[in-house]
Chains A and B, each alone.
Chain A
Amino acid sequence: MSEPRNHPVPSRSDEAIDEFESIFKISERTLYHYADVSIRKVAVITDGDQVMATELSNDMKRFLPHLAEQAEWQYVTGDQYQNVNDLLRIMAESNPDLIVTSRCLDESSLVPQHTLGVYVDVMTQTLSTPILLLPGTAPQPHPLGNRACEGVMVVTDNLAGDDQLVNHAVACTAAKGTVWLCHVEDDVLFRRYLEAIGRIPEINTEQAQELIAEQLVAIPTQYAQSCIDGLKKAGVDRTIEQIVEFGHQVNRYRQLVARYPVDLLVTNTKDKDQLAMHGIAYALSVELTEVAQLLL
């Protein structure tokens, strides 16, 4: 006689194993480990001449004063490269720790919009070196201002465990400055999963929504707290604030940048599964052009 059911019912021990695994996983914390980011060599790339490059580097030295003291500065001007391969070869030879450049490099005749330009696009994916994008574009640059970088916002959809992101943000922030650790969960994606859960009779939809949302917020919040504790322990003199919430990622970040005095956005660009730039990073780097961005 067959039993009237569609799905195999998990046994008591299966359920208990899963329950205890969950209890132990909740107890797991991803701890932050502070490390001093060493930037000894900075390459400033422009599509202009030496004068322009020097001006840019002076702006940068005001913006990141501690780099001015420590780092060796290299200038790559428009006459040194004709195409992307040339630029990649120069970077491979000089092997800088940080590249400073602009969006839409060498594309002034195209009146570019909503793009990083081919040079930056390729460099973000083929080089492991962090790239600092100056505000505006190469044809229409925005002034960097005369002050040091005091407000840095880390923007990500997966904050937990990303020590590199936090350490770079801290390294770029002036003493007594503020670092906002922002994690925005995509609410559109969350709603899609909930719709699927709503079609599964074995799962209580309301409970699932509450519990999943709670965990999605708890993981980055705990990590952010670990960052605060870790930086305090390391004696780093920065104010750390956390913003963890649900929302439409690009819109929320646009609102957050407008709300806080942000001088620099720090974001990850590498997606290990694809050559193209990480989705949220690309969207932010072409939409929030008025703020400098550090792409890791």
Chain B
Amino acid sequence: MFVATVAEVGNEVPSWVTGFYLVILVAMVLCLAFEDKIHAKKSLIVGTFAGFCLVTETIIGYFTDRAHPMLPFGNIILPNGHEIGLPIYVPAIDWSVITIILGASLFVEVTSRSGIFTWLAIKLTKQSGGDPWRLLLFYGALTVIFSAVLNNVTAMIIVGSLTTVSLSKLKRKDLLLGFLLTEGLLTNIGGLLTLISSVPNIIVGQAAGIGFVPFFIKAVPFVIVATLVTLLQARLTFGVKSLTTEEEKKIAADLVAGFDESESVPSKYFFWCSVCLLLSFIVCLAGQSALPWDLDELGMGFVALFFAGLALWFYKHDVDTFYKAVDWDLLGFFASLFVVIYVMEQAEVLAIIGKGLQEMLALPPQAAQASLLISAAAASSVTDNIPLAAVLAKILATNPIVVGPDGSNPDSPFWWCVIYGANLGGNITPIGSASTVVAMTIIHKNKLPLTFVGFVKVAAAFAVVQIFLAIGYVWLTSYLF
């Protein structure tokens, strides 16, 4: 069946070449899934595959059809007619995605030094009065907001660390496992809130042409409902109850009153500047498409880099510290991944996958949406959701059912199926997303007993509820809009 499909699609590319690269793609996905076993970083794994793909596709192109090589070598023609020479792997990378991630992570790294996030976290801890249920509600909300504004890994690190310290102070370490698991699951819900909250959002949003504000408006209702449902489910699952007696309440309130939020703020001036910068950053991202004088053409990536640059002036003598803090492994991974996907596109591998996906998309709309969302969730539960989002975004961007006759339809529910599936699938297993990996790290650091299977047993129930909620929400929004 596979060979027959290849034969149908491959007009110019030999079918064995497409099959070969499909195997390479599967091998790369498997290597990413077993990253811990290989003991190698993602950037190195995918970079190796990218190099291998570029070299082999160049050689195969040379020997099969030298007049029409698979990789389109040559100069790049700019919109103004100028030609520039760039290595083939440079335009293969989606630089708008890379610049958003680089700019946003640098910005967050600097502004978080102001203590703005820790200040808010401690303030809420005190507001809870040490009541476990209120604490879970506040930390849940905090996790979702931080995941949306920062990223899900940083959110998990901040809220998870505070949870460890505050529950230890309240002498309620019996609740720690439940809290950390719930927060881990909520990071992936918070990651759905804005266009730049998670990498799959950025990739799919860029491919679909969804703006920051439309994304936010559509995501907010689902995020609120899913958060509340998850918190209620956590209350029942982990037995998180409110304090009942006045004496218990007084003791708990006295204990959390011992936190001093001002201790985490090194400078009030920098603190308030960071608050202003953060609000301006969000406003600029939201209004980026409406910027005047063609400034919108510079894109969201420029906005992120611009604000990172502004923030770095606060540490003008130590900017190298922040450059070192950038997750270069992640950026190298993305860049390499785009190169691999580009090679796969030239080798018609994406066309083959698209062909298989076509059958799913041709089902009745509700069934098609549910199938795509569940498939994306299942795939992202065992492997990295970024290659999944990148491959699916590339395929869906050329599918007529998704983009319609105009070749562009940001309102298509199928984009949202990939977004929800790729994000929520990370809640099924502890390796499904980077933030659940961090949650497991904190759980093990506190010597709490939770195995891979143990995590799946507990988390799968949450993930299933969230995925069904997402399917219902996609159906509802596709009906309403």
Residues of chain A touching chain B, judged by Cβ–Cβ distance below 8 Å, are 11-14, 16-17, 20-21, 23-31, 33
Contacts and interface: CB of A to CB of B under 8 A. Distances in A.
Interface in B125-165: 153-154, 157-158, 160-162, 164-165
Contact of B118 (A11, A12, A16, A27): A27
Contact of A17 (B122, B160, B258, B264): B160
B161 A24 contact: yes
B259 A28 contact: yes
> Chain A: interface secondary structure?
helix
A13 B263 CA distance: 23
B261 A17 contact: no
A24 B162 contact: yes
B368 interface: no
Interface residues of B, number: 29
A27 B266 CA distance: 12
A14 B441 contact: yes
Given A13-B438, A27-B118, A33-B254, 4 more contacts: A20-B157, A21-B164, A21-B165, A24-B122
A13 B162 CA distance: 15
Contacts of A17: 157, 160-161, 438, 441-442, 445
> Chain B: interface secondary structure?
helix
List 9 tightest A-B contacts by C-beta distance, closest first. Answer: A20-B161, A24-B165, A27-B263, A29-B258, A21-B161, A16-B157, A31-B258, A24-B162, A13-B438
A26 B115 CA distance: 12
Nearest to A218: B263
11 contacts: A11-B441, A13-B437, A17-B157, A21-B165, A24-B162, A24-B166, A26-B264, A27-B261, A29-B259, A29-B260, A33-B254
Contacts of B327: 12
B118, B160, B161, B327: which has the most chain A beta carbons within 10 Å?
B161
B401 interface: no
Contacts of A27: 118, 122, 259-261, 263-264
B9 to A, nearest CB: 40
Nearest to A31: B258
A166 to B, nearest CB: 16
Interface in B438-474: 438, 441-442, 445
A16, A21, A24, A30: which has the most chain B beta carbons within 10 Å?
A24
Contacts of A13: 153, 157, 437-438, 441
Interface string B410-448: 000000000000000000000000000110011001000
A243 to B, nearest CB: 23
Nearest to A22: B161
B264 A23 contact: yes
A74 B276 CA distance: 69
Given A13-B441, A20-B157, A30 B258 contact: yes
